[in-house]
Amino acid sequence: MVYYRAAVWQRARAVVLALRVGFGLTCGASELAASEPSDPGLEQPGFLEHLVAGRDLLRSVPAIASYDGGWSLMLQFGTLLTSRRWDAPQPEGVLAQEATRVLYGTTWTAMLALEGLAASLASGGRFDWLAEAQYRTDWMFGMSASACGGRVGAGCGVGIGGYGGIHVRPVGSKLWYEVSGGWLEQRIAQDARRTLEESSVVLSPLAVTRALQAEAGPVRLDARLGPGAYFGMHAAHLHPTRAGSRELRVPWHELYPIDVGVGPGGRAELALTFARALRFEGSLVVAPLLLGSRRPSVAPELAPLVAARRGIPCWRELSAGIAVPEPVLPMRLGLSFFAGELSTRPLAKLGYHGLMLRFAFPLRAPRSRPE
């Protein structure tokens, strides 16, 4: 229980630290410098104004930490149950569970914290370069996986995951800078010998999208499109039962990377909002991981997770759903269907399917100067 409590606060502290030290990317400072000529005659804010801006911005942190920390706890128990690591043999099962969660969670935490620190150093610890800031967290519920091949049984495809990050727009700019990441873990097979799972973790240390907006009466169109950098890993998890441990030679962490790589990618978002009360939204991400490696060979137990022997691993995800905008709720809450995959199969193949809840928390951006 101590570990689970620590995991909750690890994710919460990541949100607090990332927000506290800058909310984004080093390019935020250069965007601010580029926008200053468009606001002539304005005095630079003083030290006291910087402190007030930071205080106002941090008021959003407790609610975000509560939501994200609570979901982190659910992820711990959800993956423990779907992987059957609570079952014998022990302590191997618990050690493997902790190793996977620490690896995925710590990578996400370190990315946000380090980039936030870089932004803080580049901008002198200031907050007033922000025009808008938003924290998103997606609660993902997997229902099917490509390795299931359409079969149903033993909970194939059932899984849980999370994706989240910080999105900021500097003053005077139409560009959004994003730092985000997450993972999805799903059960593939289960019998008296073992439980086989599949996971995909994807991190984006930088994505830049241009915002477009148009209104016609009660209807508003919002779109964002742009490139990004992505890192991804497609892995297998094999947890043997007590009977299976006698014949299956499994490492203590029970994790087998299959595809690993980094590469460029692109993302697009489109939303239609009606009367500021109902929002239809969709998104698409495509990222070929051009630089990376593939596991040369796998054991027969892992063979169902190898989609193709050749090709470039590529992450692609498509989502569509509805949401209630911020004026109705304190955050934007949406329900979407998602389909995606990280594999070497053709791009049109989207074998992971499920539902996700998306919470988009608007962060109070200090406005010491008009846009």
Do the domain assignments include residue 371?
A: no
Do the domain assignments include residue 179?
A: yes
Highest mean pLDDT among 127-141, 264-278, 326-340: 264-278
DSSP per-residue string spanning 258-298 = EEEEEEEEEEEEEEEEETTTEEEEEEEEEEE--EEEE-S--
Q: What is the mean pLDDT of residues 201-208?
A: 96
User: Is the sign of the CA dihedral 230, 317, 334, 322 positive or negative?
Assistant: positive
Do the domain assignments include residue 370?
A: no
67: its two tokens = 């939501």
Q: What is the mean pLDDT of residues 104-131?
A: 81
Percentage of residues in the chain having pLDDT higher than 70: 78
Rounded Cα distance, 192 and 126, in Å: 58
Instruction: Report the pLDDT value the prediction gives residue 30, as an integer from 0 to 100.
Output: 37
Instruction: Report the pLDDT value the prediction gives residue 299, as an integer from 0 to 100.
Output: 84
Of 108-122, 203-217, 341-355, give the lowest mean pLDDT range: 108-122
Instruction: Report the pLDDT value the prediction gives residue 14, as an integer from 0 to 100.
Output: 47
Do the domain assignments include residue 63?
A: yes
Q: Are 188 and 305 in contact (CB under 8 A)?
A: yes
Of 153-162, 224-233, 252-261, give the lowest mean pLDDT range: 153-162
Of 20-24, 100-104, 320-324, give the lowest mean pLDDT range: 20-24
Do the domain assignments include residue 369?
A: no
**Whole-number average pLDDT of the chain:** 80
Q: Are 107 and 205 in contact (CB under 8 A)?
A: no
pLDDT at 273 over 50: yes
Do the domain assignments include residue 159?
A: yes
Helix, strand, coil share of the chain (percent; to 5) = 30, 45, 25
Instruction: Report the pLDDT value the prediction gives residue 301, as an integer from 0 to 100.
Output: 85
What is the extent of the structural domain holding 7? Answer: 2-39+46-363
State the pLDDT confidence band at 350, using cuts at 50, 70 and 90: confident
Q: How many domains does the chain have?
A: 1
pLDDT at 198 over 90: yes
Q: How far is CA 30 from CA 25, 111, 170, 178, in A?
A: 10, 21, 9, 15
Do the domain assignments include residue 123?
A: yes
